[in-house]
Amino acid sequence: MNIRFPYKVELSFPGDLEYIPSIRKFVSEVLLVSQFSPKFAYRSEIIVDEICNNAVNYGSQADDARIELVCEIFEDRIEFTIKDQGGSKDHLERLQSVLQNDSNEEKSHNGLGLEIVRMLSESLNVVIDDKHLTSVHIVRKREDKTQSS
């Protein structure tokens, strides 16, 4: 029986790049199981990849840093929330400057990454609280059947 919408899948994993390929493929497969198109699944895979890379590179650099990813799957969209324990002040300032797109330096691959996420999503919100915990929330809508899938 198909999984009824909306439903959540939550993941918690070490803040290390090597976990990301498995995590992004998992999200893609979950979406295919819920009858999202292969194209939607691929684009979501890219979003997950880029936001996880950012969390690893810009988030907490502690040895035991962990990343939490929540995927909420609705009938017409997917929402990602990614949380990490937050980075140092330098890291956070850099992240904010990349997000505000006002960095003058040649875009590093992380700048490119968020640019791609921005283009592939309907909304992207970043919250950084007092404890430097970072939370990024992204919404991507399912394409219309009339659009190319």
Partner 1 sequence: MESQIELVYEDIRGHGHAKLIKFIGDLDATNVETVLEKVCNLFNDGIYTIIADFKKLRYVNSTGLGILLHFSKSAREKGGCFKIANINENVYEIIEIIGATSLLEIYDELSEAIAALE
Partner 2 sequence: MIIETKEVAALPNTIIVQLSGELDFECITQISDLFIQIEKSDKNFAIVDLTAVSLISSAVLGELMGGRKRLIEKGGDLVLAGLKMDIRTKLGLMGATKIFRIFSDIRSALNSYKWENGSHPEQVKISFPSNLNIVPPVRQLVSRITKQKGYGNRDSFRIETIVDEVCNNAVEHGKQGDDQRINLQLQIDPDKVEIDVVNTSDPDKVESLKTLLHPHEIGEIKAEEKRGRGLALIKMLSDELSVNCSESGTSVHVKKKREE
Question: Rule CB under 8 A: which residues touch partner 1?
Answer: 17-18, 20-21, 39, 42-43, 45-46, 49-50, 53, 108-110, 112-113, 115-116, 119-120
Nearer to partner 2, 19 or 118 (CB): 19
Instruction: Tell me the DSSP string of 76-119.
Output: SEEEEEEEE----HHHHHHHHHHHTT---SPPPHHHHHHHHHHH
Write down the least CB distance from residue 1 to partner 1, Å: 30
| Residue 9 binds to partner 2 (criterion: CB under 8 A) | yes
Task: Please identify, among the stretches 28-36, 99-107, 118-126, 140-148, the one whose residues bind partner 2 according to the rule CB under 8 A.
Answer: 28-36
| Residue 8 binds to partner 2 (criterion: CB under 8 A) | yes
Among 58, 56, 82, 66, CA closest to 139: 82
Do 38 and 64 meet the contact criterion of CB atoms below 8 Å apart?
no
Number of H helices, E strands in the chain: 4, 5
Tokens standing for 67? 């990343």
Judged by DSSP in three states, 135 sits in strand
Binding residues for partner 2 restricted to 49-88, rule: CB under 8 A: 57, 61, 63, 65
Which residues of the chain form contacts with partner 2 (CB under 8 A)? 1-4, 7-19, 21-23, 25-26, 29-30, 33-34, 57, 61, 63, 65
